[in-house]
């Protein structure tokens, strides 16, 4: 049996880390490699394992990617609307944290770009779900493995506004889809706590849309 308290703590306190990334401390390549090995145990559609992990430590490459990220960041914040149609209105703390990350992106010691073979922009929802469902779980597993070893990261996709430029910079083949770019560093302090979230019960539907669990359904487990 697992120690549920420890596992639940890991799952509920693996946060997006921006300001608390230790930009001065080197990250051992062996740690990255081990966390990536763990990530490959994530689900992969039809067990194809067509993922690729591009680890970026070269200072010149990190600087170039940071410049791309900052351009995309500026375009995102300057747009009248966010990516889902609603006006982008983050909290002050979140906005300050995001700005800090953009300003210091070039100082991040390691960046890991999660990619998958294939392009699905012109394909249907099944192909799209299959591709992203075969790479994003690995990225989350990687973040959990980092957290358990004292390292942090944050989910970023803004660079995809200039995906072709990043591909050219890194020599990526045209058939590769970039999914998420994870900046990686050791974090400072260890007082991470669960975030404020709407209760899952408000978004849970039993046997149909907006249907509640029947009284005779089994109760909550532990």
Note the pLDDT tens digit of each residue in 141-178. 999 999 999 999 999 999 999 999 999 999 999 999 99
- Cβ-based neighbour number of residue 5 at 10 Å: 8
Note the pLDDT tens digit of each residue in 55-86. 999 999 999 999 999 999 999 886 544 555 55
Helix-helix angle 4-13:136-147, to 10 degrees: 110
Note the pLDDT tens digit of each residue in 104-126. 999 999 999 999 999 999 999 99
The pTM (predicted TM-score) of the whole model is 0.90
Dump the DSSP string for 115-144: EEE---TTS-HHHHHHHHHTTHHHHHHHHH
CATH architecture for the domain at 19-190: 3-Layer(aba) Sandwich (3.40)
The full set of domain ranges for the chain reads 19-190
**Phi first, then psi: what are they for 90, rounded to 5°?**
-70, 165
Mean of per-residue pLDDT scores for the chain: 92
The position carrying tokens 């010149």 is 60
Write down the H helix ranges in the chain: 4-13, 29-39, 59-78, 92-103, 125-133, 136-147, 163-170
**How far is residue 51's CA from residue 115's CA, in Å, rounded to a whole number?**
6
């Amino acid at each position: 049996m697992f120690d549920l308290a420890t596992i639940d703590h890991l799952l509920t306190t693996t946060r997006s880390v921006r300001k608390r990334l230790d930009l001065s401390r080197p990250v051992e390549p062996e740690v990255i490699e081990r966390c990536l090995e763990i990530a490959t145990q994530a689900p992969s559609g039809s067990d194809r394992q067509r993922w690729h992990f591009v680890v970026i430590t070269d200072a010149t490459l990190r600087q170039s990617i940071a410049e791309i990220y900052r351009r995309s960041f500026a375009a995102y914040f300057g747009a009248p609307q966010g990516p889902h149609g609603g006006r982008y209105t983050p909290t002050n703390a979140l906005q300050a944290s995001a700005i800090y990350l953009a300003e210091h992106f070039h100082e991040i010691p390691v960046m890991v770009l999660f990619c998958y073979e294939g392009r699905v922009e012109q394909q249907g929802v099944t192909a799209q779900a299959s591709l992203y469902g075969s790479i994003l779980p690995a990225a989350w597993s990687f973040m959990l493995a980092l957290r358990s070893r004292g390292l942090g990261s944050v989910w970023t996709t803004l660079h995809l506004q200039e995906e072709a430029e990043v591909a050219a910079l890194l020599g990526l083949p045209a058939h590769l889809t970039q999914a998420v770019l994870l900046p990686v560093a050791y974090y400072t302090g260890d007082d991470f706590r669960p975030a404020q979230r709407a209760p899952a019960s408000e978004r849970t539907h039993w046997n149909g849309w907006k249907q509640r669990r029947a009284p005779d359904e089994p109760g909550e487990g532990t």
